[in-house]
Chains A and B, each alone.
Chain A
Amino acid sequence: MTRLRASARPVAVPLLLLLPFLLLLLLFSIAPTVWLLINSFMLDGAWSFGNFVEIVRSPFYRQAFSNTLWVSIASSVLGLAVGLITAASLKRVGGTLRDMVVSFTNMAANLTGVPLAFAFMIVMGTNGAVTLILREMGWLNGFDLYSQSGLILIYTYFQIPLALLLLYPAFDALQDDWQESAALLGASTFAYWRWVGLPVILPAILGTFILLLANALGAYASAYALMTSNYNLVTIRIASLVAGDISLEPNLAAALSLLLIVALVLVAMVNHFLMKKSYHAR
């Protein structure tokens, strides 16, 4: 029976078993991406950088990119802040409450996209209950859900559960007696976090931030559900160029898509680099 050892495994049948996977991957992942790559450099049937030139020259598309970046960064920072504060406290409360909060957050992570936007429209729309309460208290200052700040609020909401779920395991690396030792040596809570706590969990924080950023850059459903095509985001522009009612320009959409992919790949590479670094630090 030794002939069946690892070195002598026959490979013809196993290779055949990979075929369905390769076929599906080719049809639904590789082919559309290759199509994008080719057609973003095509203008009127010839090779050209024209699509990219048009995007760079157009204030409208430049605004789409700056809006996307701003909404993504703002919502990632806010989500990260809430996630961090909660994760730090979660370590200090009892195990039962902790498990409860983690499963609760898992559930909350399911409320995204169209349903999330609708929930916000009901709660914080023009006549929503929270809007009314806040207006009564005079805290609203002209907040409008159907605006950039409203969009940031909704994005932040789908970032928070993700941030907490990604961050709270990192806090396990902090040993309980470190803070006590620091306090015995005369360190304030701030000094402890500045010199001990933060440096230990920094790679996890950066890694989480990058994932949140990538998540927001490619997001489309909640923005579309809230404002249809009335807010200028890259994903919204891409969609309306291929499925809109006015003019269809798939090649321009391909160029916009390629730029978005480049941004996402950059983000992924930074993440990869940070993970490697944190691994070596250990």
Chain B
Amino acid sequence: MHAKRYHQWVVYGFIALLAVPALATLLYSLSRQWGATILPEGLTLDWYIKLLHDTRFLVAFGHSLLIAVGTLLLATVVMVPTTFVVAYYFPTLDRWMNIVILMQFAVPPVVSSVGLLQLYADGPLPMVGTPWVLLGCYFTIALPFLYRALATALQGIGMNDLMDAAHLLGASTFRAFMYVILPNIRKALMAALFLSFSLLLGEFVFANMLVGGRYETLNVFLYSIRATSGHYTSAIVMGYFIFTLCVTWVATRLSR
């Protein structure tokens, strides 16, 4: 019994440790004033109401949503056929795909920004400062998650047997893919998309280095107002955090 109590205390302590910054930020965003005292003075929703009336915030949030959704549409349209083609026609390419995935982790965003800034500032593809460059960069962020999830799903459903069966029944490869394979990997695809979505919504490095204020996204906006009221910034942090929680919650529901 003594040991069991110890383990419970460790787990509760862990929850408290992780929850403190988020809870304090929540409390701060709900308080009228909180300085030089241990507890806040006066609770209020004013900061959140201000948030909903701040057009600059709403525009930045809209930009972030638009880029994240756009990237995921692009990534789905590109990666679903790519993963299928690799798995079905060229299984030996899987090794190369894993190297490509590893590359995305070995080259952090700050580092690839260095090259991207020089290559696309002008020349034939002047993308720096426009949302288009973010679409491409975010594609490389989502790529590892989508590829791994889809490749695992294709393996799990026994793709080769399903395709052979469909062919024997007279279906073309395209038809077999659309009506047999796709419905079976939909769940894995959705889970990977939601995971990538929360990652992309919170992306800061590419957005700040390549585009900045020219197409302001959520985190770039958040960073730029760091000197103003802490209550207001904490309301933004919490609003964004709660939104991400909802998305993560939907993702876990879908992947069940």
Please report A residues at the B interface, Cβ cutoff 8 Å.
1, 4-6, 9, 11, 14-15, 17-18, 20-21, 24-25, 27-29, 31-36, 39, 82, 85-86, 88-90, 92-93, 97, 101, 103-108, 110-116, 118-123, 125, 127-130, 132-133, 136, 157, 160-161, 164, 214, 217-221, 224-225, 235, 238-239, 241-243, 250, 253-254, 257, 260-261, 264-265, 268
Contact = CB atoms under 8 A, between A and B. Distances in A.
B130 interface: no
A157 B24 CA distance: 15
Contact of A218 (B17, B111, B116, B164): B111
Contact of A257 (B28, B34, B111, B125): B111
B14 A250 contact: no
Q: What does DSSP make chain A's interface, helix, strand, loop or mixed?
A: helix
**Interface size, B (range):** 35 or more
B89 A9 contact: yes
Interface stretch (B49-57, B62-70, B238-246): B238-246
B152 interface: no
Contacts of B36: 127, 132
B11 A90 contact: yes
A245 B25 CA distance: 32
B21 A33 contact: no
Contacts of A127: 35-36
A158 to B, nearest CB: 11
B104 A238 contact: no
Interface in B131-155: 136-137, 139-140, 143
A197 B254 CA distance: 35
B110 interface: yes
B108 A235 contact: yes
Contact of A225 (B111, B139, B209, B226): B226
Q: What does DSSP make chain B's interface, helix, strand, loop or mixed?
A: helix
A243 B209 contact: yes
Given A32-B114, A119-B22, A122-B24, A110 B34 contact: no
The 7 closest A-B pairs by CB, nearest first: A32-B115, A218-B108, A89-B10, A35-B115, A89-B7, A92-B7, A28-B136
A96 to B, nearest CB: 12
B209 to A, nearest CB: 5
B116 A28 contact: yes
A108 B11 CA distance: 15
A93 B7 contact: yes
6 contacts: A31-B115, A104-B18, A110-B245, A122-B25, A239-B209, A242-B117
Contacts of A31: 115, 119
Interface string B74-101: 0001110110011011100000000010
A11 to B, nearest CB: 6
Contacts of B117: 242-243, 250
Contact of A250 (B112, B118, B139, B143): B118
Contacts of B168: 1
